[in-house]
Copies of this chain bind each other. A is one copy, B any other.
């Protein structure tokens, strides 16, 4: 790992354009498919780590143990210490009146936009509801797959600037569609105050049980319960290093969703795009996090250069310029290919969370893409639409995990139970094969449990 990272940095120094002018804020990595070292450089680029994981396991373990031992009292202590909130003054549970007041406090335009988003997200996710499949085969064996909602889920909502109402909708609405009877939201506060838009989003998503707690202590209380908070069966939602470590530690006792990494976008674009549009899309990813990644693949070197210049220009006027600059400088990339077909295998190896196809005839490329969290087709589908109002979920697999996992959906809030039903006749037909396999595996009690029902003279 160490070696690879070093290789990537030295390559990066080599492959950057010379910084001849002071005006240049940040230069992305440049790769050219036709260069002799491309495969080596691209492979190194793929394995570049974009986050440093802090080891907070011991601290988190202590907090979890304390919450298990002292329950509400521990929650009160940690919330006083970390969030500056006194539960004897501001209750831990958020009241319905508070949510009502929050809705009044949200700007009408934003509330309206949240409603548009909620309606579309709910409609799209309804189509993901699985159907039970109960049937009898030719032999008369009853078989089936039956889906049920998880009894109770916890939704972690980060505090501060990362407290996104859109994420509340994206995490809670699939649970509501799945039919989860109890959805519990936890959100850390600064002195007890919660972003009104977050509470409005919770109300729109049908979440009424909300506690102003956060960190590892909130995760522990959801997993093990306290006097006030009944435990849940699965914990969802993003959080900082403490929250991620706590989720990993309680996994097994409860289910957890994926641990999301920094966001990323891959834009495949031909020369007929407005460079400013593509630059804006790249920066929409880059502004999320210094570890975010924005990649452009194009078949036109001049267009690539125009996009780089547009990024430079736009960075100067961006409120989150510092973050976006760091992301573009450290992880941004412009990859030149001789033709866009060559972009397909690269895209499948990158397996981006978000993939934009901004080209003539994007539809012909879609079936060739095997690995992507979400695909945004055509010049008028910026990824940002998917973040908010497209209807699909914005919680998507990062860090190449789209090779083996999916975005958040209704199935993440449900589980499947298999059903099997034999009568005496079916057991008579299938039993001998089960006995033969059990015996060949050395599991005599397995064999007996079938044989004893067939009067095969096995000892009872």
Contact = CB atoms under 8 A, between A and B. Distances in A.
Interface of A: 1, 68, 107, 109-110, 112-114, 116-117, 120, 123-124, 127-128, 133, 135, 137, 141-143, 145, 148, 150-151, 161, 164-166, 197, 233-234, 252, 254-255, 274, 276-277, 280-281, 283-284, 286-288, 310, 313-314, 317-320, 324, 348, 366, 369-393, 396-397, 399, 401-407, 409, 411, 415-424, 426-427, 430-434, 436-438, 440-450, 452-453, 459-460
A85 to B, nearest CB: 23
Contact of A403 (B151, B313, B418): B151
A377 B280 contact: no
Contact of A385 (B406, B434, B460): B434
Given A128-B145, A252-B399, A385 B417 contact: no
Given A124-B143, A402-B417, A434-B388, A426 B380 contact: yes
B460 A110 contact: no
- The 7 closest A-B CB pairs, nearest first, are A255-B404, A113-B433, A276-B460, A392-B418, A377-B421, A406-B416, A374-B418
A442 B161 contact: yes
B404 A150 contact: yes
Contacts of A431: 385
A382 B117 contact: no
B418 A386 contact: yes
B252 A441 contact: no
5 contacts: A113-B434, A151-B370, A197-B440, A284-B448, A314-B459
Given A405-B415, A437-B114, A420 B145 contact: no
Contacts of A419: 366, 374-375, 377, 392
A290 to B, nearest CB: 14
A286 B444 CA distance: 11
A119 to B, nearest CB: 10
A449 B145 contact: no
How many copies of the polypeptide does the oligomer hold? 2
A408 B283 CA distance: 40
Contacts of A283: 445, 448-449
A424 B379 CA distance: 9
A404 to B, nearest CB: 3
B416 A319 contact: no
Given A372-B417, A376-B420, A388 B314 contact: no
A310 to B, nearest CB: 7
A363 B124 CA distance: 34
Contacts of A433: 112-113, 116-117, 388-389
Given A165-B437, A436-B109, A422 B385 contact: yes
B445 A320 contact: yes
A348 B419 CA distance: 16
A331 B195 CA distance: 49
A320 B167 CA distance: 52
Contacts of A379: 453
A440 B390 contact: no
A423 B116 contact: no
A137 to B, nearest CB: 7
Most buried by B among A124, A283, A310, A404: A404
Given A370-B148, A427-B380, A438-B387, A314 B420 contact: no
A415 B404 contact: yes
Contact of A310 (B1, B284, B416, B460): B460
Contacts of A120: 137
Contacts of A380: 422-424, 426-427, 453
A277 B427 CA distance: 14
Nearest to A430: B389
B384 A418 contact: no
A148 B368 CA distance: 11
A114 B433 CA distance: 8
Contacts of A420: 374-377, 381, 385-386, 390-392
A450 B404 contact: no
A318 B143 contact: no
Given A107-B440, A287-B446, A422-B381, A417 B314 contact: no
